[in-house]
Amino acid sequence: MKYFWLGSLLSLLVSACSAPPVKQASSPVTIRWSRDPGTLDPLALSNPSALDAANLLHVALLSIDYQANAYAPALAQALPQIRSLGDSLTALDYELRSAASWDDGQPVLATDVDFTLKLLNCPGLPNEANRAQYGFIQEVRLDPANPRRFTLICRGRGEDITIASGDFPVLPESVLDPAHTLRYLSLAKLQAWPATQAPAPAVAALVQRYQQANLAREPSHLPGCGPYRLAAWETNHQLRFQRKTKWWADKLRPAPQVLQARPQELVFTVLPDDAAAALALRRHEVDVYPQVPARIFQQLQASTKAQAEFAFYSQPSYDILTAGFNTRRPALRDKRTRQALSYLFDPAGLSAATQLGQGRRTVGLLPPGSPFYNDSLPLPTLAPDRAVALLRQAGWQRRADGHWWQPGATSPLALNVRYRTEEATFATTALQFQTAAARVGIAVTLLPAESSALTNLLQTGDFDVYIRLIKGSPFSFNFATFLHSSTIGSGNITGFSTPLTDRLLLAIPTEGDARRKRLLLRRLQAVLRDEMPLLPLFYLPTRLVVNRRLQHVIPSGLKPGYALTALSWPAAANSN
């Protein structure tokens, strides 16, 4: 037995002292994910990991060029030609790349785009968020003279709709609808299909085929025209993507930045715990560590060894730490109660504690540097006195036991807070809120949950207050996916909606006039601040640590924080 322990100790020492493995050009690039994607169903991508994976399997008309920090044509030959149709419609003329093809060699055609848009609006499929996001596309007009040309007729104007019109993965019609049954139904008809009415036979059959394909776990049943295929998926452990040996974009000269796919293999290791991820990075089991917490980033930067082995990048991101209130709960229906609770968060202190002061405080869902930012609103602050005053205004009475009661209520004001476990920023925020609430007589129970369980709990409305990140974007201001009444139960977790906010949410993405758009966005920020369904605390910086030997690292403030497919190991001749 003692030899066994001695042997184990020696092997540990040897492994600890051994040099990092030498990576060849064909070696896989290993990336840390904080969570499992859960589903790879292209219509129901529920978290950033799933979005990253979908971008490897499928290609959209337009993609983000992380180097230029702008949208660039991907499946489309060029950015769309924009034409105005009357006062309120815009026509976007697209042409697909002639080289674009599916894995079986068949070309990607306009009919595939038409089919995808219909799928995104098909009743009976899990596409509520997509309906809200792409509902402004009213019609797809195919060019009879060129099967790769088509025109999207969109409601509204402006750059937002141009970008949003091409930001969905194009799916093959031949796999899901080989008989082309959906071609006989117009997009507008599908969009307007009443929820109470049974779907058309063609739609029902398609929905059945879609569900039988089990795309959530078997993305190979719907092969996309992306550069990678899923080779292995061990749930909550690892996903392995292999580069297709023949990918249509390899023929393009010069290769567009958005269509570069250098790594032969991408391995995503699911490590929910940040300390474990940092250890894996130090042990060279992970080559790319995005979204690094402030303290771990600081520690790594302070280490001479880590400085020699890793490259560090930090820049502002569009991720907002938010607290949301379940407006369906009777205690939280009154906006004054929600306003009162918002005064129990300390954004300045939390930014200092969790982001080393690098978080950017904000009044709303837009970054402070944006021209649409409503700078007339005050920044949210910790103000327990104001919270107490607002609670009184909302009809709450403080009894001798120190708790707050509504007249006739059977229980006092008590809240539960849900957030993702294994994340110090969320835990600190929750503890700070709990402490501040306890001081004014509100009992708060903390209920952290694992990420996939948390998503389910929030979508089913099993919470009073949540703390989570909201992913923003500098390109478009489509907040309908998580604030519009049509997405209650899916993206709209707070359950909040008013006719005014619904109107604003639909008008903003389609507004072409910058001045009017600014007014609409400022109004939306003011309304949300007043109604307080959610409280944006601050924007987080994004921090990225990568193996220093990796080439073509393009950091970005946009998710996932770097250009994933641009990464590569140096050629063998240069490696040491």
Partner 1 sequence: MPPRLFLLRTRPAARLALGWLLLLVIVGALAPWLPLPYAPTTPDLLQVAASPATSSGHYLGTDSLGRDVLAGLVAGARRLVLLTLPAVALAILLGTLAGAAAGFWGNRRLRLPLAAIGWALAATWWGLRLPGVAFLCGLLGISAALTLLTWRAARHPTGHRRYTCALPLDGMVLGIITLLGSVPRLILLVALAAGPPLATPQLLALLALLAWPEAARLVRGQMHWVRAQPFMEAAQASGLPLSRIWWRHALPHACRPLLAFGPLSLAGLVGLESALAFLGIGQGPDVVSWGSQLASVRHDTTAWWVAVFPGLALFLTLLALQKLAKLASSAVHK
In the complex, the residues that contact partner 1 under the rule CB under 8 A are 273-276, 278, 293, 295-296, 299, 346, 349-350, 352-354, 421, 424, 427-428, 430-432, 434-435, 445-448
Select 260 or 381, whichever has its Cβ closest to partner 1. Answer: 381
CB of 357 to partner 1, least distance (A): 11
First to last CA, the chain: 40
Place of tokens 């419609």: 89
Select 273 or 375, whichever has its Cβ closest to partner 1. Answer: 273
CB of 333 to partner 1, least distance (A): 26
The answer to whether 281 and 32 have CB atoms below 8 angstroms apart is yes
**CA 112 distance to own-chain centroid:** 25
3-state secondary structure of 524: helix
Task: Name residues whose C-beta falls within 8 Å of residue 304's C-beta, 6 or more positions apart in sequence.
Answer: none
Q: Return the amino acid letter for 50.
A: A
CB of 493 to partner 1, least distance (A): 20
3-state secondary structure of 263: coil
Interatomic CA distance for residues 508 and 520, integer angstroms: 6
Place of tokens 């520690």: 299
CB of 142 to partner 1, least distance (A): 54
Select 347 or 533, whichever has its Cβ closest to partner 1. Answer: 347
Alpha carbon separation from 119 to 96, 115, 123, 173, 176 (Å, rounded): 19, 6, 9, 10, 10
Select 236 or 421, whichever has its Cβ closest to partner 1. Answer: 421
Select 160 or 274, whichever has its Cβ closest to partner 1. Answer: 274
232 secondary structure, DSSP code: E
Count of C-beta atoms within a 10 Å radius of residue 314: 18
CB of 349 to partner 1, least distance (A): 4
Select 116 or 432, whichever has its Cβ closest to partner 1. Answer: 432
Helices (H), 310-423: 335-342, 347-355, 384-393
Task: Name residues whose C-beta falls within 8 Å of residue 458's C-beta, 6 or more positions apart in sequence.
Answer: 418, 466, 468, 493
CB of 422 to partner 1, least distance (A): 9
Interatomic CA distance for residues 295 and 21, integer angstroms: 27
Select 199 or 448, whichever has its Cβ closest to partner 1. Answer: 448
Select 424 or 527, whichever has its Cβ closest to partner 1. Answer: 424
CB of 449 to partner 1, least distance (A): 9
Interatomic CA distance for residues 93 and 113, integer angstroms: 13
